[in-house]
Amino acid sequence: MIIAHELAHQWFGNLVTMEWWNDLWLNEGFAKFMEFVSVSVTHPELRVGDYFLRRCFDAMAVDALNSSHPISTPVEDPAQILEMFDNVSYEKIMIKTTYKVMVFAGAANSRPQARYLWHIPLTYITSKSNTVQRFLMTTKADVIILPEEVEWVKFNVDMNGYYIVHYEEDGWDPLIDLLKENHTAISSNDRASLINNVFQLEYIVHLFEELIEAQSWSDEGSVSEKLLRHSLLLFACRHRHRPCLEKAEGYFTEWQKSNGTLRSVL
């Protein structure tokens, strides 16, 4: 993959390059994209396309942070130039090149703090039809009228759009049942995007909530029980589960007041 990336730079970055560092994405984004194109052609047995979604998820996670920036950002000194060598420059434009999605068509010239209402090209399939349906969402709250009653709707078919989907209220339940009982009814890309969306939206905490609430905040139990407790409580707090945060903050305050002598808490 690295060799393919650097070979691509012989054309995109060396022979042809950007006028200034603010458009670093022209070099790195396309070279990153060519990693997958080149290796897929020369070594199809490696199935690097299966790894592409992981890169997409990583880029979206970084792009969701407050530290994210437009792919084209003004730079004036060496320190700012070095800051441009990040996942946004390398991978976000790779995804834009591949998916050809119009959702972020104007992002290259946007400001970090700007708020835009993007037109989102939704795609979806249902429990009654595998035919991909398309709908351009142009407002904050559009309505899609289905021709018949369905058990589930899966948006962003094959993860071909640069957006994540939250299925409010009971929308997640039939999709979770589908993954448990008949996961091959949807593609591997769709399965991966559902799981990623669950984690990104922190809905996963809801699925483990009963198990999380059953954990004690002590150092008791077997080694496996302690490891499970540690993993679940750490997971809950990292995903800002309110009861977990309140409990952790309370014990931390007690520990501070005890001058570091409190030992009975996990």
Helix (H) or strand (E) holding 124: strand 120-126
| In the predicted structure, residue 100 carries a pLDDT above the cut 50 | no
Structure tokens at 161: 């759009």
Mean pLDDT of 191-195: 92
* Residues 144 and 125: beta-carbon distance below 8 Å: no
Query: Bigger pLDDT: 94 or 108?
Result: 94
Measure the N-to-C terminal CA separation of the chain; round to a whole number of Å.
Answer: 43
pLDDT digits over 142-178, tens only?
888 999 999 999 999 999 888 889 887 788 899 999 9
Give the phi and the psi of residue 120 in degrees, each rounded to 5.
Answer: -105, 120
Amino acid occupying residue 121: P
| In the predicted structure, residue 97 carries a pLDDT above the cut 60 | no
| In the predicted structure, residue 141 carries a pLDDT above the cut 50 | yes
| In the predicted structure, residue 99 carries a pLDDT above the cut 60 | no
Please state which of the ranges 25-39, 106-120, 129-143, 207-221 shows the lowest mean pLDDT. 106-120
pLDDT digits over 16-55, tens only?
888 888 888 788 888 888 888 999 999 999 888 888 888 8
Query: Bigger pLDDT: 199 or 232?
Result: 232
Mean pLDDT of 74-81: 77
Report which of 60, 67, 61, 74 is spatially closest to residue 103, judged by C-alpha positions: 60
pLDDT digits over 80-89, tens only?
777 666 665 5
- 83 flagged as catalytic: no
Q: Which of 6, 83, 220, 254 is catalytic?
A: 6
Compute the distance between CA of residue 110 and CA of residue 125 in angstroms, rounded to an integer: 32
